[in-house]
Every structure is written in C-alpha cells, then in structure tokens.
Structure 1
Amino acid sequence: IALGAIAPMLDSTMVNIAIDKLNKDFSTTLDTIQWSITGYVLALAIAVPVSGWLMNKFNGKKILIGAVIAFGVTSVFAGISWDVSSFILFRLLQGFSAGIITPLMSTLLVKTAGPENIGKVMAIVSTPMILGPILGPVIGGFIVQTTSWHWIFFINVFIVLIAAPLMMKTLPDFEPFNKNSKLDIFGIINLSLMSAAMIYGITKAADHASFNNSETILWVGFGLALAVIYIVYNRIRKNQTVLPINLFAHKNFLTSSVGLLLANIAVMGPMLILPLFFQNFRHFTAIEAALALIPQGVGMLVTRPMIGKMIDKIGAKYVVMVSLVLSLIGS
C-alpha cells in the first residue's frame, strides 16, 4: 500500500527544486508557475471526497491500483508539456489521481490493521514515504542539473511499473463499504470554486503588495459569498453534504482542523520558498539547494517510528504540543 504513495510524495518534493528552472524555461512569472503546485494540492483536495465515494461503490483494491496507474500516465503528459498552461493542466490531473491514492491508503490500512494498531502501523508504513522529502530534492536537483526537468516526471513511470504489479499480486480485495452512497456534486464544486477564488485573491494581494486592491476584494468576496451559499446549502440538506458543518461543533474536530490548516501552511509554504531562496539569494546550484533541504527530511525519518509509539502510549495531544515547540525553535 505504501509503495503506491511513494510516487506522489517524491513528485511533490522534486518539483519544488525545479521551480526556478521551470520559471525560466516557460518564460513565465513565479505567481503563474506556482499554480502548478497550488493547483496540484487543490485538485488533490477535490479528489478526497470522490475517493470516499469510490470506496463506497467499488472494490478498493482496483480503485487504488487504477489511481496509481493514472498518476503514472499523467506524469508522462506533465513531462511532455509544451507550455505553462498545458503543464498546469497536467499537474491538476496528477493532483487529482494523488488525491484518490492518499485517503484510500489510510482507509485501507485502518480496515486491515484495526484502529487499536493504527499508530504503530502508520508509523511503519509511512516510513518509506518520509524518504520523499529526503530523496526527492536530491533526485530532483541531480536531474535538473544533469539532464532536464522533464525527467522529474518520467521517473514516476518506473516507480509505478514496480508498484502496480506488486499491488495486483499482494493486496486483498476490499468490498465496497456502502453501495447506496451518493456523491455530493454541488458541494464539491462549490467548495472547489470557493478555495480557488480565495487563493487567487490572495495571489493578487501579493502582486499588489496589499490586500486593499480591487482584484483581491473581488475574488476574496466571491469566495466568501460561495462559503455563505455552502452554509445555507448544508443547512437545507441537514448536514448530508460532502463537508457537514455540524462536525465543527465538536471541539476536538474543530481544533484538529485548524491545527492541520496551520501545520500545512507551515510545511507547504517553505517547501516552495526555501529552494527559491537558496538558488536565487544564496546562489546555490540545484544540487546544493537539494542538499540544504535534506536535514529536515532526516529529522522526519528519525522521529517517525518514535511518534507512532508515543501516540499509542500517551495520546496525540502531548506529542503535538512538544513537536510544535521544537518546530518553532528550529524555525
């Protein structure tokens, strides 16, 4: 199961190291090329509820293998992109297939191991995925420096060619969870447009170095209007939507959601900014920038087995609090 997630993990970290090169090759601006990363994550988020519906309706094994193969195919198209628009489009398709893989992996692991062993199992199985932040920048830096950025995507094909046959051979069948479930298409479209509008508005704020400009006000306002529409829609549907609002009435769920949002800002932001900082301000080569990113991945690899055991033993709350303090000191 973990093998299926290695390609998306490697890909997301390798692309960051190539942003400077992509920017120059496509003769575009940073705020345009960054949509290849923002769009990837947005498509991934859109795919998550679709993934849940697919698990309910079909055999989980076949869906997971299909998503892994789709990731390989879309990687080829991303590698042969002829301009920045086609590149962003194929990255969106890559992100969507990655969004099917990630929740499927977690759900099938829980179903196989049982909730009582989940801390231990996630620590063991996700350890190979941690190699992504360590090996991704190094492989990406080596590829960019010695060949071309196209091979950052072509390399995924080799991983998929190993993973897919092994998954076909070893994974058990997972029966559909609930064949009567329905996909909330309106809710997914609404939340997707809301997210895209808010992100675009913030991007325009960066262009003007101020939130007080007409483009930002227009797009953020549009995003907020869609948020209000979703709240009304959710109330009419009595929380039978893709994201039931009543979940946020639970203190633990609300706190965890806010924590995850802030944690992802803290993790994903520097993954884009640091390679550019090293290459443009410190004048590092692609490989030197990649080597500078390794220690963070090593730290994740070293602590991963410990964290699983500690969560099972003392609970996630204290582990998160101590980790947060250590992260702030490191930053």
Structure 2
Amino acid sequence: MTTKPPLTLYLAAPRGFCAGVDRAIKIVEMALQKWGAPVYVRHEIVHNKYVVDDLREKGAVFVEELEECPDDRPVIFSAHGVPKAVPAEAARREMLYVDATCPLVSKVHIEAERHHENGLQIVMIGHAGHPETIGTMGQLPEGEVLLVETVADVAGLAVRDPGKLAFVTQTTLSVDDTIDIVAALQARFPAIKGPHKEDICYATTNRQEAVKAMAPKADAMLVVGAPNSSNSKRLVEVGAKAGCSYSQLVQRAGDIDWRALEGISSIGITAGASAPEVLVNEVIDAFRERYEVTTEVMETAQENVEFKVPRVMREAS
C-alpha cells in the first residue's frame, strides 16, 4: 500500500456565495414555489453552471432576452442588473416580473441617475459586454455613460464637458484593478466626481483580501468558479499577483490538472461569489483521495450581510 503524500490545504474565508447571489437564487426558488413551473429567468441568474442547471431541473427556464418569454409566466431579472428598457418593456407587456438585481448593483444605478440629473456625464470602469456593465450603462440615455476598461482608454475619452463628469465602477472588479484607472481619470479630469462610498462590493473585496493572505503561503491556488464569472477571474489574477505562480480557475473537481500540481506540498482553495460550497467540498474531497490532507482556514473577514427578497416574494401566495 502506497502512502499518500502530505498536503497542507489552505481554505480562504470568506469564499463562495455573497449576499446578492444568495438572494437571487432564493428569489428563483421562491418564485417556483409560489407560481409553479415554468418561471423564466432573463440571463443566468448568477454565473455558475451548477447553480443554473440545478434551478433548470426545478423548472426555471433561462433565456437571454425578454422577447423569448411568454406574457403569462413570471420572469426574473438576474443579479447582474438590467438596462431600464427591460422592466419598461415587461410592464408594457403587463408581465409579472421580479428584479433580482443585487442591491449593491442597484446602488450604482441610483448613483448614476443622480449624477445624470445633476447634469454630469458618467464614466464607467468595467468590462465591455459583461451583463452588469450593460445594465448600468442602460440606466441612462445613449452617450451618457462612457466605458473605460484600461488606463489607455482614459487617454482616448471624448467627453462633452471635462468639468461635468462623474465615475462609477463595476462592482465585481478589484480595488487594484481600478486604482490606476481612477488615478488616470483624476489626472486628466481633476473635477471628476467619485462614488460617495467605494462601489466595489464588500464580497469582492473580502474574497480578494483572503486570497492575498493565502497566496504567498501556497505552492498553487485553485479558484472554484465559472469562466464567465468576473469576480472569479479576478481572484485568479489576484492570487498570481500576490505571489502564487500557479493560480487556476476550475468549475469542478473534474477540471483539476493533477499533472500541473505534481510535487506541491500546499494548495490554496477559494471560490467566486457565485460558486456554491458543494463544489468547494467536491474539490477538497478530490485532494483527500490523493493526499494526506491537513486543512487550515485562513480567515481575513467575517460576513453577516443579508439582503431581503422583494416584497412580492414575501407575500403569501
């Protein structure tokens, strides 16, 4: 009988589900209980295949656009937020809709509108094509929100009035991601107004801080999350930057590249904000099969944030 090699497994805390994801999933489950299947969901409720497949089995139908939904079934908008035109169209069609937008994303939407009412043009720091960016930019008329992804983009910005600007950021970016872009904006447009309170969400920040603490101690790091999850991809980058040369994204235990991990004596494991703990446990079990595992939790913050579901979900059917 061969003895298993020893392995120290560092578990990042906090990791996995944030309050906004928790709330969004709960909304779909409650809608299915309240109205029965099918319930339509515009865009993946959260960016995780396991979660989406699980809800699909329970009777949720995932579509990309509102026109794919029938008028007579409830529709839920994903946690990432939607452009204003979407609820307006749902109301025009007299559809029953529930908005599962994360309250922290909604806060950015409200901020953008307030700046717009004060005559300011808005610069959004975010990723083109990401549903959250599309949703935030879609709160205001065309041309009122300009997108920048890099410091280089700031130099090329054509604004209406350099004295009347404000900026907002996508909530799932890292503070490190935005710091240089914010500095470039402030250097080029000294009058630009920033957010009252940091737009980067508490969960994004907390998960990144945990990774920064863990990365220097681990030979390798795995982030459990989906390839289309912005906050999960940021965790991989943060880990690599913080000194963990092998930092990889895996959706499930079956994605682990064991050959790349040969000879390691320690591994760090975390999960993006839309990855369920069951997948983290699956990864830990896979290591236990191959190694004599000692687990060490690296806790850098405690989270007790909870967001209430919309009133329509709390009312008894």
What interval of TM-score do these two structures reach, taking the shorter chain for normalisation? under 0.3
Structure richer in helix, relative to its length: 1
What TM-score do the two structures reach when normalised by structure 1?
0.22
- TM-score (structure 2 length as normaliser): 0.22
From the two aligned structures, give the one with the greater strand fraction: 2
